[in-house]
Structure 1
Amino acid sequence: MYRGALLAIGLCTSLPAAAQGADDVARLTRLVEQQQARIARLEARLAMIEGTPPPAVAAVPLEQALPSDARPSPPLRTAAQAPQRPRSPAPLGQSLPSDAHPPSLDARLARIEQAQKEGVHVDWSKGTPEFTSADGRFSFRPRGRILVDLATTTGSAIPARNMTATTARSLRLGFEGSIGPHLSYLLEGDFADNDVAIKSAYLAWTTRFMGQQAEFALGNRLNDRGLDGSSGTISVPFLERNFVGAGIIPVRGFFGLGAAARIYGDGWHVGVQVSGDDINNPGTQGDGLTIGARAHWNPVKTADWLVHLGLWGFHEEIAADATRPTRSIAVGGFFNDNLRILPGSFADARSGDGYGVELGTFHKSLWAYGEYGARRIENRAGASTDQSAWAVQAGWFLTGETPPYLTRGGVWSRPKVLRPFTSGGSGAIELATRYEELDYCDNPTAGRGTALTLGVNWYLNNFVRLQLNAIDWTVANPTQRGGATDHGQTLIGRAQVAF
């Protein structure tokens, strides 16, 4: 009886120990299975990033994971082996990977991070992809614009001016980029007015000069001349630049092939440009020579107020083959060639001098500015003719955006739309008005004209704009119908995509 009692006591004490051992085995089994599942998921994610099939991962036998005193008698089955990756010959000098010793997770992550450092970053914020190397030393971006107009003119006493038409104001395509921290480039071709021409085509070197940022450029570049004249068509508040920017201009036009230098400070800049004729000039005669300069200053620059002052001028030696020293200027939109201020004739033009002044102010969502410009042309016989133009204009962003004026260079840009229409918002809505006058009539064969414009701009996002301009114009050209003054109205709508 004594021995039986001891045996019963021993059995009772061993049962809980056996039960506890079985619970430990089950818990460790679940832990190992969870670890294997986690490793399998990590391997699959790495394989997706690397673009390769996941390596074979075998389940670790439980008897290797459990302590020897807790090892069960029958071993657990291993997981199914994943198919082997097909091998291909490696380049000479590189060892083949070993299936028995696959790269560690740390090694594979390090390889992915290195690949990302050597990769290319892509930014779509400007409407087209801008590719930039990871170190920022190289960039490339296609750029262009599509400007399509629909316009109608009524009220003119000259029937040919009363017309309705569509036109491609500008179809431009090009690219820009940078090489290293200093060198940048730009090339653009444009179809406009039934003609194809090269526009911007230059190299620029940006560096520090006298403690300020400086830019030196070689090639065909938009000139620095007035607030509107120094800004692109896609950026000015109206469909076309004002009469000062369009009419008080050297023979070579908006672009000239040559060299330019600009220094930018905090709220000011000074630029000079020396150039020959436009890059599209036929090579039958020697070029003219134009030397131009412009400076702007922002004497007031606060969170709510900004004041712009500008001064510019140029001197030109006109090439002998220049038959049109003065441009005819569109009054009721670029589409209507019958409605222009005529430049008249001025034979054997030898030189010209022009200058202009600018004054503008910006307050929150409001802006207003005025420009005045004048030019004198002399011919080889000693005769001269004077030209002048002025414009005042103002605008208001109803949706709260600030005017897209850049203190760096004193030029127009494009607004940063607060609530893009393409993302479910209202877009940016701007109201603008302008009155301008151009006077060529110091030349008896040339004309003069005025225009009052009311405009509405709807920016769907930062690079898409719809415009509507209503223009009340007056034109007097002495060589047309006895010099009678003509008056009418033009309504123009434009769809613009600029990227």
Structure 2
Amino acid sequence: MRQQTLLAGASIAAVLSLTAGSALAQTSQSTSGPWKGAPEYRWGDFTIKPRGRVFVDYVDQDVDRAVGIDFSASEDRFRTARIGVQGTWGERWSYVAEANFVDGESNWEDLLIEYAPNDNTAITLGNFKSLSLENLTSSRYTTFMERGAFADLIDAGRVMTLAVRTGGDNWSIAGGVHGDSVNDGAPGDGEEQRGLFVRAHFAPVVTDDTKIHLGVWARDRDRRDDTAFRYRVRNNTNFGARYTDAGSSPLGAGDGDTAIGLEAAGVWRNFSVQGEWATIDADLTGGGSAQANAYYVFASFFPTGEQRKYKPADGKFDRVSIRNPVTQGGIGAVELAVRYDAADLTEFAGVATAGEYSAVTLGATWYPWSHIRFMANYTDAKNEAQVAASDVDVQTLQVRAQFDF
């Protein structure tokens, strides 16, 4: 509880400093940079810009069990509500500090500082993500409302990281050391988890019409005195229970693991495809080992003519540029998409729910303006357990109103 209070206080302090800075900017006649969803203020070599996002969701879910009571559930909620700041100090230093406020709790999201000794190299320290094409693409720009079972299984969220990255116009390689999330509980006497990672990407084709992305990553981690690693997936939503789950018993929880992932994506005019595959070799707390695998593939099409914006130097996707936004009398952009997900946990022998997961998701998104979008996703998911009585089918309809700055 004390940590939550400190986080909330730090976030409020950031907002108050921004407000004071705004007033100072006006009185000192500081210049502001180009509008990018929010103003940017400058004092000499120091810049600061507010940032944030709000995702308001409605979720309706039907759960059909092989054995047991079928049921339906629904909820309207704030999926995400973030506020923060970002900026630079001179030509070589930059920073981001952003907190999330949902369900009466506050947590840090990106909280980092970066030093770039030259145009091709960066050293970053803080709480941030480092692996997977879909994972590194901001949720503001992902094609679907949720990243899906693949992201759940690889468990590559924001953790305290020291990373070094170098690259060029169409490639990069990064590596570093992982720790715990900055939001983990108060320090104890034990040692927090440790991990090593590396990710590389290459874009062999980058033209106005066509982009091709290839990537690979690897991670090795040890929980040390932390809670054992979990291997489980949701039904392409963070609402409801996980039905494909290796559990927390010694038969399914991990002391440490090694993961390898492959990335590929292609864009041709207003059509795109993307997919990833990963395998995880886990050393179990009860002795022995088990392997888990997951992949996804999706296709996206803009009937209004837009193109997914790929950043070849960073190896991730960015904000879509709207050809005819409603602010200029147009109809905005429309994106249609379909995705197939699969995960296999059957090597966790003796855990009834450690089976196979598969799902098909249909998505439609309307972008009236570049910083606003309305999304609808429908997912038909199947959780096939090692014991047939634990099989569960889940159908989920989700809609979202999204705004970011």
> What TM-score, normalized to structure 2?
0.85
1:262-312 Cα deviation digits (max 9, x unpaired): 112021111112121111122123111111110110111222211111000
- Structure 1 residue 447: Cα displacement: 3.4
1:141 is aligned to 49
2:288 is aligned to 383
| Letter paired with 2:238 | F
1:129 is aligned to 39
1:197 and 1:363 mapped to 2: Cα distance? 38
1:221 aligns with 2:118: no
Conserved in 1, the CA contact under 8 Å of 2:299 and 2:339?
A: yes
1:247 is aligned to 153
- Aligned residue for 1:261, secondary structure, equals strand
1:498 is aligned to 404
Higher-strand-fraction structure: 2
Change (3 A) 1:207 1:327: same
- Structure 1 residue 422: Cα displacement: 3.0
Conserved in 2, the CA contact under 8 Å of 1:169 and 1:193?
A: no
1:123 and 1:180 mapped to 2: Cα distance? 14
2:85 and 2:46 mapped to 1: Cα distance? 14
Written as runs of structure 1 = structure 2, the 5 A alignment for 1:287-366 is 287-323=192-228, 325-336=229-240, 338-347=241-250, 349-366=254-271
> What TM-score, normalized to structure 1?
0.70
1:160 and 1:213 mapped to 2: Cα distance? 55
Please, which of 272, 276, 283 is the counterpart of residue 175 of structure 2?
272
Higher-helix-fraction structure: 1
1:409-465 Cα deviation digits (max 9, x unpaired): 211211011211233211111111100101122113123311101101111211111
- Structure 1 residue 258: Cα displacement: 2.8
Conserved in 1, the CA contact under 8 Å of 2:177 and 2:196?
A: yes
2:93 is aligned to 183
2:144 is aligned to 238
Change (3 A) 1:319 1:123: same
1:486 aligns with 2:389: no
Written as runs of structure 1 = structure 2, the 5 A alignment for 1:389-468 is 389-444=294-349, 445=351, 446-468=354-376
Aligned-residue CA RMSD (Å): 2.3
Conserved in 1, the CA contact under 8 Å of 2:146 and 2:236?
A: no
Conserved in 2, the CA contact under 8 Å of 1:476 and 1:483?
A: no
1:373 is aligned to 278
2:127 and 2:62 mapped to 1: Cα distance? 39
- Aligned residue for 2:137, secondary structure, equals coil
Conserved in 1, the CA contact under 8 Å of 2:63 and 2:70?
A: no
Conserved in 1, the CA contact under 8 Å of 2:201 and 2:216?
A: yes
- Structure 1 residue 380: Cα displacement: 5.5
1:146-181 Cα deviation digits (max 9, x unpaired): 011101113623656521111211111111111111
1:403 and 1:216 mapped to 2: Cα distance? 28
- Structure 1 residue 382: Cα displacement: 4.0
1:408 and 1:189 mapped to 2: Cα distance? 27
Q: Which runs of 5+ in 2 are unaligned?
A: 1-24
2:401 and 2:113 mapped to 1: Cα distance? 31
Q: How many residues align?
A: 371
Identical-residue share of aligned pairs (%): 27
Please, which of 366, 370, 378 is the counterpart of residue 470 of structure 1?
378
> Larger radius of gyration, structure 1 or 2?
1
